[in-house]
Amino acid sequence: MKHTTTLLLAGLLMVTAFAKAQTSLDKEINAIESKVIEWRRDFHENPELGNREFKTAEKIAKHLKSLGMEVKTGVAYTGVVGILKGKKPGKVLALRADIDGLPVKERADLPFKSIAKGEYRGAEVPVMHACGHDTHIAILMGVAEVLAKNNDFAGTVKFIFQPAEEGAPPGEEGGAKLMVEEGVLDNPKVDAAFGLHISSQQPINTIAYRPGGIMAASQSFEIHVKGKQTHGSQPWGGIDPIMAAVKIIDGLQTIVSREAPLTQEAAVLSIGKINAGVRSNIIPEEAHIVGTLRTLDVGMQKMINARMKEMVPAIAAAYRAEATITIPEGYPITYNDPELTAQMLPSFEKTAGKENVFNVNAVTGAEDFSFFAQKVPGLYFFLGGKDPNSKEAFPHHTPDFYIDERGMLLGVKTFVQMTHDYLGQ
């Protein structure tokens, strides 16, 4: 009986100690919110485009070094990696945040509104964090500080601050793909990777996830149409590449609407740019089309790619023009390892509450976190960033994009909880 009483007392002491430690950790996380918001506002006001995030990287590296971490800079041009070792050996977990902005002019009336400029495709452009990457940086910096002060875990955490998620400048490599090629998942070898994306259209204090494919594969494509220049008053004297381009665009849409098995998975084909001609009375020599393809099934992607390559020159030939199409590899499907997702679901429910965690349908947006998840088991989730009382939520990549900063603390809490739960299992 005495032995049983001793065991019960020891168990109660352990539970009490754990509860105190958890309370202390919760206090530290809550206390860091103001810092996270301050960092976010600084990054928002000073955005930089992909592979040009020089000042952003400097700020990140300075913070990680101040926490006593081993820090690597210049990874995939401007990426930063911090390595935090726990007090005991164990697994290696990667936490990732993307750091680049977009060539978008901000319209939101904020005291920390961006008026930054950058260069894109040879032209000066406005730059804005129009996708929330500023919040991702700040959240992960907060996680780094909390875990550096509470590293009584078994294993290692690798903090990956990744450039050029929105794509490298033309003619350059970059992003997660280049980081992987340069060995970011090695030395020490990563066992799993977690990533998040804030969502301007999902209420704050909620988490959305999906086992399997959660975001689409993305491919940008370019089409060059060649005709024969002539006077606009005499179209019969030449070959009109604009007419051929219009028919090509029309034809490409039928691949999705008439050939893709959309009850199986979604697919989207959109044209984002057409460029041809200089004035009203000249039918030009060439036309240029740029677009994007989003797919959630590898087989459908291959089928659509093949039909695009067949259709483009055939339609151009019907209008006496010539056309070529290039379709680079692009980003793969962002795939959440089902076993890892199930393993981490309780972590989501601990931080957000079971009623605020949702299994959602896949989206046709794309993410190059997919390159990490191709190499190691990955889990990518959406963090709410919308004011629940707001009537309108502007989409990502738009001038009016807006994030409610009250949603960021849940990101810090969730990454910390996931880290302790994963490394402790």
What residue has token string 């009203």?
280
Same domain, 37 and 24: no
Residue-number span of the structural domain to which 10 is assigned: 1-29
Give the Cα separation of 294 and 363 in Å (integer): 10
Same domain, 23 and 48: no
Choose one of 306, 326, 346: the last residue of a domain: 326
Same domain, 304 and 339: no
In angstroms, how far is CA 207 from the centroid of its own chain? 16
Q: Which residues pair with 274 in a beta bridge?
A: 289
Same domain, 307 and 391: no
Q: Determine which helix (DSSP H) or strand (DSSP E) holds 82, and give its type and residue range.
A: strand 79-85
- Per-residue pLDDT tens digits of the chain, which is 425 residues long: 566 666 666 555 555 545 555 677 889 999 999 999 999 999 999 999 999 999 999 999 999 999 999 999 999 999 999 999 999 999 999 999 999 999 999 999 999 999 999 999 899 999 999 999 999 999 999 999 999 999 999 999 999 999 999 999 988 999 999 999 999 999 999 999 999 999 999 999 999 999 999 999 999 999 999 999 999 999 999 999 999 999 999 999 999 999 999 999 999 999 999 999 999 999 999 999 999 999 999 999 999 999 999 999 999 999 999 999 999 999 999 999 999 999 999 999 999 999 999 999 999 999 999 999 999 999 999 999 999 998 889 999 999 999 999 999 999 999 999 999 999 98
Choose one of 287, 306, 326: the last residue of a domain: 326
Same domain, 95 and 206: yes
Q: Determine which helix (DSSP H) or strand (DSSP E) holds 344, and give its type and residue range.
A: helix 338-352
Asked if 193 and 372 count as a contact pair (C-beta separation under 8 A), the reply is yes
Comparing CA positions, the residue from 273, 272, 242, 270 lying closest to residue 257 is 270
CATH of the domain at 37: 3.40.630.10
What is the crossing angle of helices 33-45 and 2-31, to 10°? 30
Give the Cα separation of 121 and 137 in Å (integer): 26
Q: Where in the sequence numbering do the catalytic residues fall? A: 331, 405
Q: Are strands 123-126 and 70-75 parallel, antiparallel or unpaired?
A: unpaired
Same domain, 25 and 71: no
Give the Cα separation of 225 and 344 in Å (integer): 50
CATH of the domain at 310: 3.30.70.360
What is the crossing angle of helices 408-423 and 133-149, to 10°? 50
Token pair of 200, please?
A: 């301007």
Token pair of 37, please?
A: 């918001």
What pLDDT, on the 0 to 100 scale, is given for residue 17? 46
Comparing CA positions, the residue from 146, 123, 144, 129 lying closest to residue 56 is 129
Same domain, 180 and 243: no
Give the Cα separation of 223 and 218 in Å (integer): 17
How far the first Cα of the chain sits from its last, in Å, is 33
Comparing CA positions, the residue from 387, 386, 394 lying closest to residue 104 is 394
Same domain, 118 and 187: yes
Choose one of 326, 351, 384: the last residue of a domain: 326
What's the domain count of the chain? Answer: 3
Same domain, 175 and 139: yes
- Amino acid occupying residue 224: H
Same domain, 418 and 359: yes
In angstroms, how far is CA 344 from the centroid of its own chain? 20
DSSP state of 210: -
Same domain, 308 and 366: no
Same domain, 101 and 16: no
What pLDDT, on the 0 to 100 scale, is given for residue 170? 86
Largest Cα–Cα distance of the chain, in whole Å? 106
